[in-house]
Structure 1
Amino acid sequence: MVDDLREDGFLGGRLRIVQPARGYRAGADAVMLAAACPARAGQSALELGCGAGVAMLCLGARVPGLRLAGLEVQPAYAELARRNAAANAIAAELHQGDLARMPAALRDRDFDHVIANPPYFLDGPSAPDAGRGLARHEQVPLALWVRAGLRRLRPGGWLTLIQRADRLAAVLAALDGRAGAITILPVAARQGRDAGRVIVAARKGARAPLRLLSPFVMHEKPSHSADAEDLTAAAQAVLREGASLSLGGRDSR
C-alpha cells in the first residue's frame, strides 16, 4: 500500500492522477506514448506495466469509446490505476500480475493496440523507493515485453513503445520477424541535441519497410535558462491539449 500520495494534472488539467509522492511517477513520456497510439473509438487497447494508469487514461481521454485494459505487477500501483480510472470517469479494467506469467484473464484475449513504457535501465544504483526501482530498472528482459505485447495483439494490430534511444537496437531485434511497418520517432529535448527517447510503432504480421521519422523536439530554447516552461508548439499541443502524435503512414501492410 502507498500512503504518501500527491495529485498531478495531465492534459492541461483534464486528468487528475494520484501518484506516489516519493515513488515512481509517470510524466511526459507516458503522455507521449498515449498520443502516439493510433487507436480509434470502438477499438481495444491494453497497456503493459500501466503503473498508476497515466498513459492508459491519457489515451482514454483523447479517444472516448475505447475498451481499455491495464496490467501492472505492483499491487499498490494497480490499485492506484483503478482509483484514477474511476476518479476520471474513464472505463478501464485493471489486472494485477506479471507480463512474464500473463494472468489467465488476459492470456486468451487479443487487442487492437498494445502500449508500453518498459523500464529504461539495465543496471545502476537502486532507487531508495522499491516501487520506483522496480518501475525504472529492468527485471523482465525488454525482448519479453515486446513479445508479450505482440502475443496480445490481433493480426494487424499495433504495438507502440517508448524507450531510451540507446536501447533501440534491442527493440528492433525483438520485433525482427514478428512485426513490420516499423516506424521510429526520435524524441529530442532540444533542436540539435541527440534524441534521448524513441517511440516505436510496429504492426503485427505486416511486411512494409521500416520508416525513420524526423525528430520530435520538446523544448523551444537551445538550453534551459529559467524555471519557466519553454515547450515547442508541437509539444504543447500533445502534452497540454491532448493532441495525437501522428507517426504517419500506419495503414501500410
Structure 2
Amino acid sequence: MSLDQPPSFVKHQTVTRDAFLGGRLTLSQPSHGFRAGLDSVLLGAAVGQGRKTLLDLGCGVGTAGFVAMAHQPDLGATLAEQNSEMAALAVQNAVANGLAERCRVIQVDVTAKGSERRAGGLLDNGYDSVIANPPFFAGGAGTLAADKGRAEARHMDAATLDRWIKTAASSAAAGGEIIFVYPSTSLSPLLSGFEQRFGAVTVLPLAPRRGEPTTRVLIRGIKGSRAPLTLLSSRVLHVEGRAFAPEFDAIFRGEARLVW
C-alpha cells in the first residue's frame, strides 16, 4: 500500500492536520483546494453495519473510508483516487492512523473503461460496500475554482456522474450497498442512475435547519435487489445557530454511526 509522493507535492503543497470523530482520526489534507468536511464524515458513518469490504471512489485524502473503518474494526477498504497528491496523502493518513494494514490506496480514474480500471486495481463484483462523494457542480454551473484540484473535485456533468454510478455498480458484489452523498439540486440525474442499476433505493434528505430546504441527500441502492424506492423524512443538521442536532453531534464526535 504505497504510492510515490510527487516531488512537486513535497515542494509546493501545504497541508493541515485536522481532527475528525472527536480526535479518533487526525488527517493531513491540502490547506487549499478540496477539503474533506461533514459530507465525508456522514458518508463514512452511513456504511452498513457488518460490511467486510469497502471501496471509496474518489477518496481524496481518505476521510470517508477512514471514518467507516474507525466505526467497524473488521472492515477492510480500498481507496481509489485519480489525483496523485491526494492519493499520497491518503497513504500517509492510513499509516499515521494505524489503518495501513486494513486498507490499500490505488491511483485510478474511476470513470475510465473497465479494462483500465481493472488494470489500476479495481475489482469487478468485489466489494460489500461502495461509497462516493462525487464532484458536485453541473458542468458549466457555478464558478470554476482557481485551484485545479478543487475545480476537478467540484465540477461534473450528468454523463460523467453516470459513469461514477456505473463504476460503483460494476465494483459492488451481489447484494452489496452503494452509497453516494450529493447536493439535492442535482438529485435528478443521481436518482435516475441509481434506479437504472439498483433496487431498494433509499434517499435521505438533509436540511441545514428546521424549515429550510434540503441541501444534501444520502442515497443508497442494493445491487440485485428489486425492492421499491424509499424516500425518508428529512433530517435537520442544526438545532440553533451552528450547534448540531444531537443525532449529528454524536456522529461528528465519533460516538455513533448514521442509522437510516
Q: TM-score scaled to structure 1, two decimals?
A: 0.91
Q: Is the 8 A contact 2:175 2:222 kept in 1?
A: yes
What is the root-mean-square deviation in Å for CA atoms of aligned residues?
Answer: 1.4
Aligned counterparts, 1:1-253, within 5 A: 1=9, 3-40=13-50, 43-90=52-99, 91-101=102-112, 102-104=117-119, 105-108=121-124, 110-122=126-138, 123=140, 124-138=142-156, 141-221=160-240, 224=241, 229-247=242-260
Could you tell me how far 1:242 is from its partner in structure 2?
4.0
AA aligned opposite 2:111: A
AA aligned opposite 1:92: C
Q: d(CA) in 2 for partners of 1:107 and 1:14?
A: 30
Could you tell me how far 1:109 is from its partner in structure 2?
5.3
Q: d(CA) in 2 for partners of 1:60 and 1:38?
A: 11
Could you tell me how far 1:88 is from its partner in structure 2?
0.4
AA aligned opposite 2:38: A
Q: Is the 8 A contact 1:78 1:95 kept in 2?
A: yes
Could you tell me how far 1:103 is from its partner in structure 2?
4.2
Q: d(CA) in 2 for partners of 1:209 and 1:130?
A: 40
Q: Is the 8 A contact 1:51 1:81 kept in 2?
A: yes
Unaligned runs of 5+ in 1: 248-253
Percent sequence identity over aligned pairs: 37
Unaligned runs of 5+ in 2: 1-8
SS, match of residue 68 in structure 1: strand
Q: Per residue, is there more helix in 1 or in 2?
A: 2
SS, match of residue 136 in structure 2: coil
Q: TM-score scaled to structure 2, two decimals?
A: 0.89
Q: Is the 8 A contact 1:39 1:45 kept in 2?
A: no
Could you tell me how far 1:177 is from its partner in structure 2?
3.3
Deviant stretches of 4+, over 2 Å: none
AA aligned opposite 2:209: R
AA aligned opposite 2:174: P
